Amino acid sequence: MGRARQIASSENMDRIILDSSDGTADAGDFLLLDASAAGTDAGFFINTEIGTTETPPDGFVNSSSIATDAITSTKIADLNVTGAKIETGVSLANGLTLTDGNLTVASGHGIDFSGTADGGTASTEVFDDYEEGTWTPAFVGATNTPGLHNNVGRYTRIGREVTLQFFQQASGSPTATFSNNSAVFQISGVPFSVDGHGYTGSQGTMNSQAFHYNSSNNTQGMGADFVSPNVNGSDQIQFQTTGSGATRGIVNNTGARAGVYVIEATITYFTDA
């Protein structure tokens, strides 16, 4: 680089040509625009190569010029660049550290891990979703509003994987009534549809108190060894019963009517939503 020449100046804008050596503003030279107010460090810089077609608008930084001019993080800090936008893609050689704020990704995009080794046959390596929040558990087929001390639903979604937490404590005042007591006891309101394989679509664990699931309280009339929750293909929580060597059953509405119960459950499943 031969020299720098200031070609125009006003209260709010300086224009300086970084001349390669021949004294003429032509291809290979760079135009540096300092948009800061006079006497302050605020504002932005535009550094674009003369003769190229990629002239960025005000407030943008041309990434090809960043690469050509070898702007380091130290230089960016020295220039006090704020609110700037990079017009095209840029590669960072030594990582990126955010000292404040969040990393925002446009909808439909994410973090691409395609540069890492695969453990199987990968269908995608873009991490494009994270979410956590609450959902409201609701009785399916109830003909009244059952009394509840607690009725809490929470969830976390990481990519396609959803984990639900469900806590329901019936008060018995009033006890739930249903249009069909022998129908499967189900809870609706889960935040994402299930995309599962096998017969149940998802699996979970639970503990309970005074929750009836044996004999007439399940669809097989079986003496169950244990019960586990899952989200079925209709996106509703149900409770599977299992006994050694026996066909699986599902807790029916009679079981939900039988006592002042407590259910605490965690379910993990995949979604296609």
pLDDT digits (tens, 9 = 90+) for 60-81: 555 444 444 455 555 555 555 5
Nearest Cα residue to 137 out of 177, 168, 176, 102: 168
pLDDT band at 20 (very low <50, low <70, confident <90, very high): low
Q: Mean pLDDT in the chain?
A: 77
Burial tier of 165 (Cβ tally within 10 Å: 0-12, 13-18, 19+): middle
Amino acid in position 194: V
> Model confidence over 175-225: pLDDT tens digits?
999 999 999 999 999 999 999 777 777 889 999 999 999 999 999 999 999
Domain range annotation of the chain = 3-86, 131-270
8 Å CB contact between 206 and 165: no
Residues 185 and 258 sit within 8 Å (Cβ to Cβ): no
Backbone φ, ψ for residue 138 (5° rounding): -135, 140
Q: Is the pTM of this model over 0.75?
A: no
Q: Specify whether the CB–CB gap between 207 and 264 falls below 8 A.
A: yes
